[in-house]
Amino acid sequence: MSQFISVSSRLRRTPFSVGVEASGVKSYTVYNHMLLPTVFESVESDCAHLKSAVQVWDVSAERQVELNGPDAAWLLQMATPRNLGPMQDDQCYYVPLVAADGRMLNDPVAVRLGPNRFWVSIADTDAMLYFKGLASALRLNVAVFEPDVSPMAIQGPLADELASRVWGDGVRSLRFFRHMPVNVGGKTMVLARSGWSKQGGFELYLDGAEHGMEIWEQLFDLGADLGVRAGCPNQIERIEGGLLSFGSDITLYNTPFEAGLGRFVHDVPECLANQALKGLRDAARQVRPLDLDGAPVPPLKEPWPMHVDGEYAGTLRSAAWSPEFGTNVAIGMVEAAYYVPGARITVRCPDGDREAVVRGAYWR
Ligand code: THG
């Protein structure tokens, strides 16, 4: 089942798909109705390489929702409790998107391109439909659409070296979650210091498909001596770093507090969830890192139930063997009685029960 994806024009390819295939992609997932590579060599060796060199990732599936017009900032603020007031024109914000009932819709990166223009770089739910619904029902003066923009990430300890060979030394001083204009094939595009790994690096928002393979090949030419490889978001590294995966670790049924995103919930009257969120602060469950005992875990195909002395304790949502830390690293949605560091929980894995310990922090 996990080896095959039927292709059709409904399942979108990306401007980099040709390069990804030439680099020997082993598996994909589907994300925002688009191909997202998940493995090149093996999850373990992809992880080791990501931590030691530099990788180029086709993350086009992080689709953009463009909000463009005088009401753009208002529309975005209606959908997130994070105060957008201080946001600068060169800034990116990680924002929970929350419906009026206080439940999460998505956890995108918002990119501010100007006072009246944002890209909302979404995780895997159809968030554009929510923005379109609000904009049309409230007759807002804003265009809501998916532009032809495809993110490509450059991640790893040698990311600065590689990016500076393409765009000059100016990229080295770009701060975390800030963006700057760069030239790609004669066109000005957005380069941000961000990416779904803790190894550092950049994301280029490729504007139009036209220059995609050209910049892809340039990165491989200029980075040959750095050992650059095609890569993709890595399940081990992102669990170690506590980067949440919407749909896996958190879902449409969770509040931002349950998702561990309470630090982004401010008292913002424009946010439609403002009142609802005030009553949801005491989370009945919360996302937690866990060390999971035993040999490398089998693939997690669905959440694994957790219990303590026969009592329900939550579900394990993501798990992988970490060669670096010599344990299975995991993320669970843990019931309040057990979400304290050091709590011992039994996890019902497909190959039998295993013990897990709630950690106080992620591994890096
Ligand atoms: N980059 C871009 N778009 C994206 C993602 C991305 N869309 C989908 C998905 N990833 C959205 N989810 C996340 C989750 C975590 C982060 C970014 C996007 C992230 N978090 C940092 C952390 O937790 O350390 C910083 C959060 C903060 O601002 O404090 O980077 O990766 N374009």
For 142-189, the pLDDT digits (tens) are 999 999 999 999 999 999 999 999 999 999 999 999 999 999 999 999
Report the nearest atom of ligand 1 relative to the CA of 151: 32
C-alpha of residue 139 to centroid of ligand 1, in Å: 31
Q: What is the mean pLDDT of residues 57-73?
A: 99
Residues 6 or more apart in contact with residue 201 via CB below 8 angstroms? 54, 153, 154, 155, 156, 159, 160, 163, 193, 195
Report the nearest atom of ligand 1 relative to the CA of 121: 3
Q: Give the sheet arrangement for strand 55-58, strand by strand.
A: 179-184, 187-192, 201-207, 149-155, 55-58, 229-231
C-alpha of residue 287 to centroid of ligand 1, in Å: 16
Mutate to test the pocket of ligand 1, among 33, 57, 109 (most ligand atoms within 8 A of CB): 109
Q: Is the confidence at residue 3, as pLDDT, over 80?
A: no
Under a CB-based contact definition with an 8 Å cutoff, are residues 358 and 290 in contact? yes
Under a CB-based contact definition with an 8 Å cutoff, are residues 148 and 208 in contact? yes
Alpha carbon nearest to ligand 1 atom 27, residue: 94
Q: Is the confidence at residue 135, as pLDDT, over 90?
A: yes
Report the nearest atom of ligand 1 relative to the CA of 233: 31
**For residue 42, what are its two tokens?**
């093996």
Q: Which residues line ligand 1 (CB under 6 A)?
A: 62, 94, 107-109, 121-123, 151, 177, 194-196, 203, 243-244
Please report which residue ranges of the chain form alpha helices under DSSP H. 17-22, 43-52, 72-79, 127-137, 159-167, 212-222, 235-241, 274-278
**For residue 150, what are its two tokens?**
């495809």
What letter represents residue 38's amino acid? T
Give the DSSP H/E element, type plus range, for residue 348.
strand 344-349
The average confidence (pLDDT) of the chain is 98
Under a CB-based contact definition with an 8 Å cutoff, are residues 337 and 355 in contact? no
Q: Is the confidence at residue 5, as pLDDT, over 90?
A: no
Rounded to two decimals, the pTM is 0.98
Report the nearest atom of ligand 1 relative to the CA of 94: 28
